[in-house]
Chains A and B, each alone.
Chain A
């Protein structure tokens, strides 16, 4: 009985503050966000997540942060593969998309930009974006990453209408497609 209790108690708690899809986190495709993380009165699960992550959250009035740890097929992101981030982005004043190691440090080439900035990318005629994250040379918008092992994509949307219910197509985020390894 104690084994079951301990496993469920701590297992469920661990799940809630890391993945949290059932309790407070919202998921759109491969992207996960905690919509209540920037609110003045976060719910207990979001509070626990804030305490565990120790990250400086974006306020509700500032924007929304999405994190992807896996591609659109659910395979964890790996720095040895080439990924295409393809699609439209929600309405926002601007956004940044930064690949980081799981501990939060940036992994882009040290003498280059740390990530993509919506003001400094080339777009397709319909406004969609095609971004490449890889160690090897890629066309269009390419960010060179270094090192080995897993990584995260951190997508910061500033001054955005996502989750505000203004428009129905706001919650379309680009897909992450693994191209080559």
Chain B
């Protein structure tokens, strides 16, 4: 092994990175743009569910009930319908997710028969928003019913009030239930995975396509020297990106950081080793840049978004898909990042994901090393 040769490859790679200013800019700006966008746009809490009202009763009681719906920020009243068909049309056109219908004789039945029903038509195509929306509606109607019952009991001096049970949730780690705190670790992993494998996925394929690989082969350099020399500069860029992401998350978005920076950067190094080697492996095995780029997309962006637990909880996936998630480094990294940021878990309690990450990083590095041959065609 010759450090001089490694340094030479490194220098060449750095020159190439610096020459393509725009790509470098994109690589450094992308994390920032992603964080800003996700920070502001992604909100998993489904507040402000669009709501349509249709009051067929038009009584004091129905007004009261609808006032409850208007008062909460769980719903946004977007439309007041004057016919059933109009309400259905709004649901069909996705203008509202929930349509509340108060039937005729609502107040009369409540007064004389002692029970009345309200209808909620729900566009359940988005099952998640639908179930949250139904929960909110249920809560609002319960609150209204509670008020009606209390009033009734006071007037009739009936039995002692029924007790109510409230769960006093103490939410740990993310006290405000902020999506942001939840999303930032995922975004960091996503950006790192993409940047990491994208940076390297073209580096060898490009040399093949342009014919410069033949020149490299003619030199005395060993394959692993090329690998080390080509990867180190990208390592540096990747770590810089991690630092930018983490810094912005903590300072601009006030995401709590409760763990240790050493653990964060240690694990980021492992994760980068995994994704950079993956990119390198892809680059070595596919000799065209198109194929390399598609493979990199396939193995990093989508898995890190969908199979890492970033958006979709892993423990809710079918068993087989849960096994598949084990082979993607993003899964471990997201769970480590969440723990480090929100929980402040010490490394000793995260041995499992750290070991998983390290194992994958090692396997990918070895694979990438073995795949590269200094042979023509």
User: Are A and B part of the same complex?
Assistant: no
Residues of A at the B interface (CB closer than 8 Å) are none
